[in-house]
Structures are given as structure tokens and as C-alpha cells.
Structure 1
Amino acid sequence: MEFITEPHAIEARSMEIIAPYLSRLNLDEKAIKVYSRIIHAAGDPDYKDVIRIHPAAIAAGLNSLKSGCDIYCDVEMVRTGINRRRLAEFGGQVHCMIGDEKIAVKARESGITRAMAAMREFGQKLDGAVLAIGNAPTALVEVMKIMQESEVRPALIIGVPVGFVGASESKDLLFSTSPVPYITVLGNKGGSPIAAASVNALLYMLEK
């Protein structure tokens, strides 16, 4: 068997394979790019049935990223997966505090997860930013609480925590009550690669 070894050719062929799965979904060109990146990252065409994109999400994300907004993540795996060099071309940076010892101390003292403590620490900085949450449902729930109790409004929330405890519920909360645009996947699916792929889909649409 002959394998494709050139990276761009591999990606192009992957997108060709994915395209037929999306052909009946009545998506615009930009939504197709987000769907395709997510499916490519997961290796799972069934994602097409659970992806939910707020009507204003892509425009909000593109405008904010192009304006140089920062991105705040729940875990290092999301931060690592985001194309930071591409983001830096527009003046933005990616932040994650999950490994900060100060956050660990605050989490222990408050009896909450480090992901929740990190979101609380970000606080006002989340206003106008892009959030990428791929692992911790508690981070997403905490962000929803912050918005409920303050005027903090992220430009876009990419909320795709994965798992069987709280993940589906946290995304249902985002999908049904978020006052700001979102990208999510319903149910137990998701994860850090999905969050990073969603961000990168937006970054790759931007032209410097």
C-alpha cells in the first residue's frame, strides 16, 4: 500500500473524505471549515450530528481574533494544540493557569477544582476574549456562573469538555442559556483536540 506522506496532501485528502458527510447539512462555507476541522481532529464523522454553532459564533470569533484578543484555556493540552504563532500574528496570546501552584492552593482552600479556580482567577480578563474549554466541565460551569453574576462577556466560548461526569450537562447549559456566542458538541463527546481544532479553524480563516 502506498501512503501519502506530504502533510498538506494528507490534510487536503482528509478534507475531501470528510466533505460528503457534510453535504446535506446546509452549512455555509465557514461553518463547513469548523465542522471539518473538528471531524478531522476526532477522526469521527458522527460529530456532524452533535456539533452546535451559535449563528453569531464564527463572526464573533473571527472579529475578536483579528482584533488581537487573547484566548483562555482550561488545560495545557488545549493551549498546546492552538496555533500560537498564527494567533501572535494578530497580537493575541494563549493563557492557561491549570498548572499554576497559586491556583492549586486556591482550589484546595475553596474545595473546588483547579479548572474552576483558574476561571475565577482570569475573571475580568475573560471579557471580550475567546475561551477554549476542552477538558473540564467544571470550568465551563464556572464561566457560566461568572457571566450570571457579573457583566463579563467573552466574545466566544468554545465549550467542548469530554467525559461522563458533568460534561454533557455543562454543554447543555451553554447551549440553552449562554448570553454569548458559542461552539459546542452535545453529549459526552469533545476533548482538548476538539477545542484546539475549533480555534485553529477560525485562525486559518483569517488573512493577515
Structure 2
Amino acid sequence: MQLDPATTPEEIEARSCAIIDAEISEPRPFSGLLWPVARRCVHTLGDTTIVADLRLSSLGLAAGVAALSRGCTVYTDTCMAAAGLPLRRMRPLGVTVTPLMALPDLEIVARRRGVTKSRAAVEVMAERFEGQIVVIGNAPTALMVLMDVLAQGTPAPALIVGMPVGFVNAAQSKALLNKSPWPHFTLLGRKGGSAVAAACVNALAEMALAGIRPLQQ
């Protein structure tokens, strides 16, 4: 077995990107600024096959970068997804990261309503999502409730990153999101998770930090 000579974080990331670029040859499913987002997702999951199920749009990319550039709030379904958005990247943009599952008294609210904590969190906070970014990497219920409240007329987030993982309603919730009119990124099927959902936002944050301002198409 021959080890790769890359040892520093910078070298490893550059080498990883080069390997991904080589293994997913042109013509790729995504081009321009969408490719760095897709590549970061592949890198996070260590799985080149996911590109076939990734759904990334130029509209979502432009809306997400614009929201981050103006210092939006990123709402995440879990603390794990929030942990994937480092302060060193978010703080210079003035971005606040708020995990919904850490809301005070959430368990009491959920018990009183007779619903899950993820449903209660979205219902309570939905009015605050307008123009912000919502990241869902774990709870299909949160994604489905979000789409329900938006369909009822609640103002939409700038971008929904919906990538819940699992076997119960994960694929179904993402299929519904993919058919929705709201700017979104998703990964169809059972695969997903907090890490890859956060990876999308990190890719957009790097663009915002670099002063890149994609045009909405």
C-alpha cells in the first residue's frame, strides 16, 4: 500500500479536490460556481456517486451567497449541523447560527402541542425564516413541516438546504422539496446528514468571504 504524500490540511484538501475532479470527469453534472458546492458534498461524504442525486440550482446558490453576505441567520435542525458551520467562517460575515433543537423550553412546547420537538421548533420559528437560510440534515419531519407552513403563505427562507438522512420519510421529504418552488439544495434518496448539509453552506460562505456575488438567473 502506497500512502499519499499530502500531510497538511491544505495539501490534503487540495489533493482530495484533485482526486474528485479526476474521478468525475467532464462533462460534469454541475459547472461554474455550482461545482465547488457539489465537490464539497462529495468530499464530505467520501462518495462520488452522490452527484447523480444532488440537486443544486443557480438560483439557490445566488440567494444563499447573498443572504450570507448580508449577515443572515442560519437556522439548523440540529446542534450537529450547527457545529459544522465554524465561527471562523461565519463570524467575519456577521452570520448567526441558531440550532432549532436548542431553543429554550422546546420540550415543554412540544409536549403541550403533542408533537415532536422538530415539528414544534419549525412551527414556532417559521415566521423568522424569511430571507434567512434553513439547514435540515437530520429530521425529515422538520423539512415536511417547513414546506407545509410555506405552502400556507409563510414568507420563505432565502435558501433551504434539505438533506435529511435515513429510512423513514427522508427520501420522500426531499422528493417533495425538489418539486417545490422555493430555492433549495437537496440530495435525493436516503443519503444525507448534518455534515453534508453544513458543507453546502460552507461552500457558499467561502464565496461570500471571497466577495463573489453570483447573479440570480
TM-score by length of 1: 0.94
User: Please, which moves more after superposition, 71-80 or 120-129?
Assistant: 120-129
Matches within 5 A, 1:105-120: 105-120=108-123
For 1:33, what is the secondary structure of its paired residue?
A: helix
Who is 2:47 aligned against? 44
| Separation (CA, whole Å) in 2 of partners of 1:22 and 1:37 | 16
CA deviation string 1:43-101 (max 9, x = no partner): 00011110001330111111111011110000010000012332221211000131345
- The question of 1:164 aligning with 2:161 is answered no
What letter is aligned with 1:134? G
| Separation (CA, whole Å) in 2 of partners of 1:151 and 1:111 | 22
Kindly indicate whether the alpha-carbon contact (under 8 Å) linking 1:22 and 1:48 is maintained by their aligned counterparts in 2.
no
Q: CA deviation at 1:22?
A: 5.0
- The question of 1:77 aligning with 2:80 is answered yes
What letter is aligned with 2:154? E
User: Please, which moves more after superposition, 19-28 or 79-88?
Assistant: 19-28
What letter is aligned with 2:121? A
Q: CA deviation at 1:134?
A: 0.2
What are the ranges of 5 or more consecutive residues in structure 1 without an aligned counterpart?
none
Who is 2:14 aligned against? 12
For 1:132, what is the secondary structure of its paired residue?
A: strand
- The question of 1:65 aligning with 2:72 is answered no
For 1:135, what is the secondary structure of its paired residue?
A: coil
Q: For 2:98, which of 95, 104, 108 is the aligned residue?
A: 95
For 2:55, what is the secondary structure of its paired residue?
A: strand
Which consecutive segments of 4 or more residues in structure 1 shift more than 3 A?
none
Who is 2:187 aligned against? 185
Aligned residue pairs total 207
What letter is aligned with 2:191? K
For 1:29, what is the secondary structure of its paired residue?
A: coil
What letter is aligned with 2:18? E
What letter is aligned with 1:185? L
Q: For 1:127, which of 105, 125, 130 is the aligned residue?
A: 130
User: Please, which moves more after superposition, 40-49 or 50-59?
Assistant: 50-59
Q: For 1:24, which of 22, 27, 38 is the aligned residue?
A: 27
What RMSD over aligned residues (CA atoms) do the two structures have, in Å?
1.4
What are the ranges of 5 or more consecutive residues in structure 2 without an aligned counterpart?
212-217
| Separation (CA, whole Å) in 2 of partners of 1:11 and 1:143 | 34
Q: CA deviation at 1:26?
A: 4.8
| Separation (CA, whole Å) in 2 of partners of 1:129 and 1:77 | 19
